Each structure stands twice: as structure tokens, then as C-alpha cells.
Amino acid sequence: MMLQRRNAWLVIVMLLGNITTFLLLAYFCPMALKRIWHAQWLSFIEYDFGRLTRYLAVLLLCLTVEASVLGWHNCSLRRLLRPSLSARHDLVVALINASGFVGVVLIFFTFGTARLLPGAVHHFLRTEWLASLQLPIVSYLVWSVVSDFVHYWHHRAMHTFKVFWELHKYHHAATELNMLTGGRVHFVEKASLLVCQSVPLALLGATVESFVYVAAARQVLELFQHSMVRWDFGWAGQWLVYSPVGHRIHHSPERQHWDCNFGNLLPIWDHMFGTWYQGTDVNETVGVSNNYLVTGSVWGGIITAYRRAVQEFWRSLITGRWIAEHIAEARAERDRTDSR
Ligand SMILES: [Zn+2]
Ligand SMILES: [Zn+2]
């Protein structure tokens, strides 16, 4: 794997940053270092093969259903068996996500904060509010709604601010959708969502039980949200649960679809905060303009997105312009239409 020179420099800086962070932790806060090490070690030795087997079984079932709906030529299975560069990104990230190694990648990209911050939030903000109700299903439902709300705003911020958009663009750089594209999220974005969601989780004192059937249903939904099936679920897709068409519009390269449909599970947040796409046009293609991630290696793409985010941060700081251009454009367009 050849890294561009600028990316190689960034990897060296990250390596040095990680070594410095861990030396500082070893000196000032050895307990935190011990916790990070312990949690990571557990994810290797207590690897949940049962969960992986369930995931693969559901995935296989969904791939089969999708192939029977879309036909062999357009289905995800074909796209994954003969992968384009876009699908190769999806496959590599899916493999990392499925492995115990994902924790190490998250730690490396965030200098340990992916593990340290949720632990600190849990330690300082933790209540026993929902756990004391002793009603795991209620706890799960409340947690699902609240975490979905946080997910909506996190996702919206990812699009709105230049610095975050460079990271989130990694997801939107997919030039085709297949059922694994949903997991193709930059590791820094993934870590930041974990940190954001850890705050309400701690404040609510929710015990996030694992309900096998609910988890499977969510997995089915997530897989189909990144499929080209033309399912919009009618009324339910508008108000109750995000449909594949609803999320496909979010991936649209067409200007009329920008700054729309940020929800993950529930579309209600988009209705409440004015980001629901009101039209009826559905895009046939997906992607972003100026897509620099369609060439080069998978790791090169991940590092490039990170480097560009760091560059955007400094540029925004100097210019004072933090809003991503495509969002500013979409908003201006909407204002023009409203004033007509
Ligand atoms: Zn997005
Ligand atoms: Zn997506």
C-alpha cells in the first residue's frame, strides 16, 4: 500500500501523538491507561462469535431477499462479489468493524479519546434513573428514541460544518449503494458519535440490554437503507421509520436533495426541524461532487479524509467560515424558492 507523502507524514504525527498520549497517561493517570488496555484486551479474548454469526445470517438473508427484488445485475451481492473501488471500501471497513481490531483503530485515530471520554462521562454523569425502573424494554425504548435524536443532530452537524463534512464525506463518497455501505463510516466520526451518545446514556442511566429480535430488526432496516430497492414504506416511511428511498435521497448528488433527510431510525426529527425532503423525485445515482476518494487505496482514502478535516479546521479558524459550501448553497436556494 502506497501512501501519499502528505498522508505518510500525518500517520507519523499520529503515531507520535499516540505514543506521547500514552506516555503522559502512564505517568499522570495509569488507571485510565490500564482501563483502555483492559477493555481492548477483553474485546480480543472475549470476542463475540455468536453475535458475528447472527449478523452474518441476517446479512445473508437480506442479500438473498434483495437479489430476488432487484435482480442479479443490480443487487448488493453481485456488487460485493465483483467489487468496484467504492465497494472495496465498504468491504474493508466492514471487516475492520467486525473484528476486535476496530477498538485499536478507533484509539489510534482519536489518540485514545474514543475510549477515555465515554469512560469519563460514565464515571462523572452516571445516574441510575432508567435502570432503577427495572423495566429493560422501557429503558431500551427510551434510550432508542434519545440516541436517535442525538444521532440526527450529530449527522446534521457532520454535513453542516466543513471540518466534519470532510470526515462524513467518506460515507457519502460511495458511488454506489450496497448493503454494507451503512457501516462505511470514518473511524473519527464513529468515535465522535459514541462520545455524543454516551452523555444521554449516562444521564438517563439506561441499561442497554441486548434484545436479539429487536437488534435483528434494526440490522435488517440498516442494511436495506443502503440498498437500491425502491421501498418508501408509504405513510410509515414518512412518519414512523426511515425507508431505503428516504435514505437514498440523503445520498443524492442532486442539489434539490442536499441538506435533507438526516434521520437514522425515526423520520420525525426531520419533520420537526425542517429537513424532510418534501418533493417526490428520487435519485437514481448516489455520490458527491469533487469526489477525491474514488481513486487510490482504501487506507489512503481514510487517511486523506482525516488530513482534509484537519486542514479544514485550520482554514475555518483563520477565515471564520465554518459552514460547508454545499449546505450554504442548498440553504440559499431554499430561501430563494421561499421568497418567490
Ligand atoms: Zn450524511
Ligand atoms: Zn448512508
> Tens of pLDDT along 6-24?
888 889 999 999 999 999 9
Structural domain of residue 126, as residue ranges?
A: 5-339
Instruction: Give me the residue label for grid cell 477565515.
Output: 319
Distance 156 CA to ligand 1 centre (A): 7
Distance 127 CA to ligand 1 centre (A): 32
Instruction: Say how many CA atoms lie within 13 Å of 66 toward its Cβ.
Output: 28
pTM of the model: 0.92
Bridge partners (DSSP) listed for residue 161: 323
Q: Are 330 and 258 contacting, i.e. CB atoms less than 8 angstroms apart? A: yes
The percentage of residues in the chain with a pLDDT greater than 70, rounded to a whole number, is 97
Average pLDDT over residues 277-298: 86
What are the tens digits of pLDDT across the range 230-275? 999 999 999 999 999 999 999 999 988 999 999 999 999 999 999 9
CA distance 120 to 192: 14
Distance 171 CA to ligand 2 centre (A): 6
From the CA of 179, the nearest ligand is 2
From the CA of 156, the nearest ligand is 1
Average pLDDT over residues 97-102: 89
Evaluate if residue 48 carries a pLDDT over 90. no
Evaluate if residue 2 carries a pLDDT over 60. no
Work out the burial of residue 274: count CB atoms within 10 Å of its CB; fewer than 13 is exposed, 13-18 middle, 19 or more buried.
exposed
Q: Are 180 and 62 contacting, i.e. CB atoms less than 8 angstroms apart? A: no
Distance 261 CA to ligand 1 centre (A): 8
Distance 241 CA to ligand 2 centre (A): 15
Distance 46 CA to ligand 1 centre (A): 33
How confident is the model at residue 205, as a pLDDT? Answer: 82
Distance from the Cα of residue 129 to its chain's centroid: 28
Distance 151 CA to ligand 1 centre (A): 11
H helices, E strands: number in the chain: 16, 0
* Tally of domains in the chain: 1
Distance 36 CA to ligand 1 centre (A): 30
Calculate the alpha carbon distances from 294 to 5, 155, 166, 228 in Å. 19, 22, 14, 20
Average pLDDT over residues 81-110: 92
From the CA of 181, the nearest ligand is 2
Distance 32 CA to ligand 1 centre (A): 33
Distance 12 CA to ligand 2 centre (A): 31
Distance 262 CA to ligand 1 centre (A): 6
Collapse the DSSP code of 323 into the 3-class scheme (helix H, G, I; strand E, B; otherwise coil) and give the result: strand
CA distance 127 to 142: 15
CA distance 75 to 72: 5
Distance 193 CA to ligand 2 centre (A): 15
Tell me how crowded residue 122 is: count the other CB atoms within 10 A of its CB: 13
CA distance 98 to 60: 15
Largest interatomic CA distance in the chain: 63
Instruction: Give me the residue label for grid cell 438526516.
Output: 262
Evaluate if residue 338 carries a pLDDT over 70. yes
Distance 328 CA to ligand 2 centre (A): 21
Work out the burial of residue 331: count CB atoms within 10 Å of its CB; fewer than 13 is exposed, 13-18 middle, 19 or more buried.
middle
Average pLDDT over residues 213-240: 92
Bridge partners (DSSP) listed for residue 323: 161
Distance 266 CA to ligand 1 centre (A): 15
Distance 332 CA to ligand 2 centre (A): 24
Average pLDDT over residues 310-339: 86
